[in-house]
Chain A
Amino acid sequence: MTRSNDINTFLIVDDSITARMIIKQCIAIAGFRDRAFIEARNGEEAWQILQHVKVDMIITDLNMPVLDGRMLLERIKTTPAVSSTQVIVVTSTANPAQEAELIGLGASAVMGKPVSPAEVYRTLADVNRNGRERKND
Chain B
Amino acid sequence: MITVVADLAFIELEEQRQDAQVTVPAHFWKMRLPVVHPLEGDLLLAAEPDLLQEITRNIYGLDAEQPTSDHELDTLAELLNTIGGSLMRVIVPSTVKYELGLPVVPGNGGKSEAPGLSFVFCSEERRLIFSIVGQNLISEVMK
Name A's B-contacting residues (CB within 8 A): 15-19, 21-22, 63-65, 91-98, 101, 112-114, 116
CA distance A94 to B90 in the complex (A): 11
Q: Which of A63, A95, A112 contacts B100 (CB 8 A)?
A: A63
- B96 adjacent to A17 (CB under 8 Å): no
Whether A114 touches B88, Cβ cut-off 8 Å, given contacts A21-B59, A96-B94, is: no
- Total A-B contacts with CB atoms under 8 angstroms apart: 72
Interface of B is mostly: helix
Name B's A-contacting residues (CB within 8 A): 4, 7-8, 56, 59-60, 70-71, 74-75, 77-78, 81-82, 84-86, 88-89, 92, 94-102
CA distance A114 to B81 in the complex (A): 10
Residue from the set A15, A94, A95, A96 with the largest chain B CB neighbour count within 10 Å: A95
Whether A16 touches B74, Cβ cut-off 8 Å, given contacts A21-B60, A65-B102, is: yes
- A17 adjacent to B89 (CB under 8 Å): no
Residue from the set A91, A93, A96 with the largest chain B CB neighbour count within 10 Å: A93
Q: Which of B7, B8, B78, B85 contacts A16 (CB 8 A)?
A: B78
Whether A97 touches B85, Cβ cut-off 8 Å, given contacts A16-B78, A21-B60, A22-B59, is: no
- B81 adjacent to A92 (CB under 8 Å): yes
CA distance A22 to B56 in the complex (A): 12
Contacts of B77 in A (CB 8 A): 16, 18
- B8 adjacent to A92 (CB under 8 Å): no
Q: Which residue of B lies closest to A16 (CB)?
A: B78
- A18 adjacent to B89 (CB under 8 Å): no
CA distance A98 to B92 in the complex (A): 12
